[in-house]
Amino acid sequence: MTRSVRTTVRVRIKAEVLTKRKKKRLEQITGRDTRTIKQFLKVIYHNEDQLTSVNKGTKKVSKNKLDQLTLTTTRSTQYPSRSNVRHDLKKRFPRSSHDELQECRDKVVAIYHSQQALHSCPNNDAVPKKIPRTLSANKERFRLLCSTSNTIARWWVGIRDSLDTNKNNTLNHEKLWLPLACSPYHEHQLHKGKIQALEVLYKANKREWWISFILSHVPTHYASSRPPAVLGIDLGINKRAVSALLTPKGVINRHEIRFWSDKTRKKLVKETERKIAKLQKVLAKPSLSFGKRKTTLHQLQSLRTKQRTEYTLTDHTYTNKLVNYILSIGKKYDLYVVVGFPIHIRKSQYRGNQRPRTRKSVHQWNYRRVTELLKFKLSLFGWDEHRVISKSSLGPLPSVPTVAPFAPPVLPNLPSSARRVGINLTLT
């Protein structure tokens, strides 16, 4: 049975056409949710021993016990009713419904578990201005409508507006309708699957409101007479990339390991880096005059722009060779391409780890650009984008500087260039 896959589609809200009342109401709803989430988080950390249990070395929060500390109940359920609780959040946030408080609770539990996985402590400076609450589609917390006759926007989303429910003494919640700036790409993505939930996001640096839709869909099942295979690609230090073909035998053929590099482009990049280093040494002189410093800064800016362009062209060059290789072996196998994406690897290469050259090379890697280039170039030949996957192989690391320098696995009976790349696969 094929498992469903969750994807996220973000669409900008047309805040420029919203009325003052709608803007104020949207800020009130998200601000109330943020305060509720922060209060839930305080309750968890103040009652951590009572609410958490250790499972496989990680702490897990019991939602049941958290409800018993924060939410009162009046209806008869499988648990006894609670008229008094230690931290009554209903009393503190009277303009929130019970369902909204539970959604805030679920969000807080997810935040706590992610902090435990990253081995991090709560930090007020790292908390965003608006913490989104996940609105579930199970009980019609929101509605998505398409209006072809509307001149303001074609797509509208209506979220629950419960701020005045208790004030008006009614059980029916109103809807706050928000116009969306949907492009044909967004419409295509929204029609791919079923919407499970959404989040209202605020980007403070751009002062923009966004809606993040969480979709659930079943990926296309590919039936092929060719044997399946996986081509693993990893970015290297001395070589731009290395690829290894994993066949149904479960091992890698030594002859299928390929290294991808361009000596001409590598020389150009090294020459540009040498010029940048020379100019940086000139700028470090305290006796440099103002006019000379201004000229040197202008030259340095031009060289850095050239350097970024050369990095992009280098990625284009070896991905073109990779695409030709993928198309050639794709005739023999039902092929999938996996690009290695080791998360937190830049944390291991911190300043002062006595490996400046390795740190410099690691910080030049661009996994996202390589993955997107492969998807785009292969799609021109009829490949489905789901056949190119970016996969992480490393777990979370402690915060710097307590982490030890990263050491790639040493492989037996391989040349030194292959060991530096660090392929973590079984070889024949």
Mean pLDDT of the chain: 80
With a cut of 90, say whether residue 14 has pLDDT above it: yes
With a cut of 90, say whether residue 156 has pLDDT above it: yes
Yes or no: say if 79 and 73 are a contact pair by the CB < 8 Å rule: yes
Alpha-carbon distance of 370 to 350, in angstroms, equals 24
* Other CB atoms within 10 Å distance of the CB of residue 312: 13
Name, in order, each residue with C-beta under 8 angstroms of 403's C-beta and a sequence gap of 6 or more: 347, 348, 350, 397
Alpha-carbon distance of 257 to 423, in angstroms, equals 10
With a cut of 50, say whether residue 137 has pLDDT above it: yes
Strand partners, 135: 198
With a cut of 70, say whether residue 196 has pLDDT above it: yes
The pLDDT tens digits of the residues spanning 414-423 come to 333 333 333 3
| Per-residue confidence (pLDDT) for residue 347, from 0 to 100 | 66
* Other CB atoms within 10 Å distance of the CB of residue 96: 24
| pLDDT bracket for residue 343 (50, 70, 90) | low
Alpha-carbon distance of 403 to 353, in angstroms, equals 10
Strand partners, 258: 243
| Per-residue confidence (pLDDT) for residue 395, from 0 to 100 | 39
The pLDDT tens digits of the residues spanning 304-332 come to 999 888 888 888 888 899 999 999 988 88
Alpha-carbon distance of 131 to 202, in angstroms, equals 8
Q: What is the pTM of this model?
A: 0.56
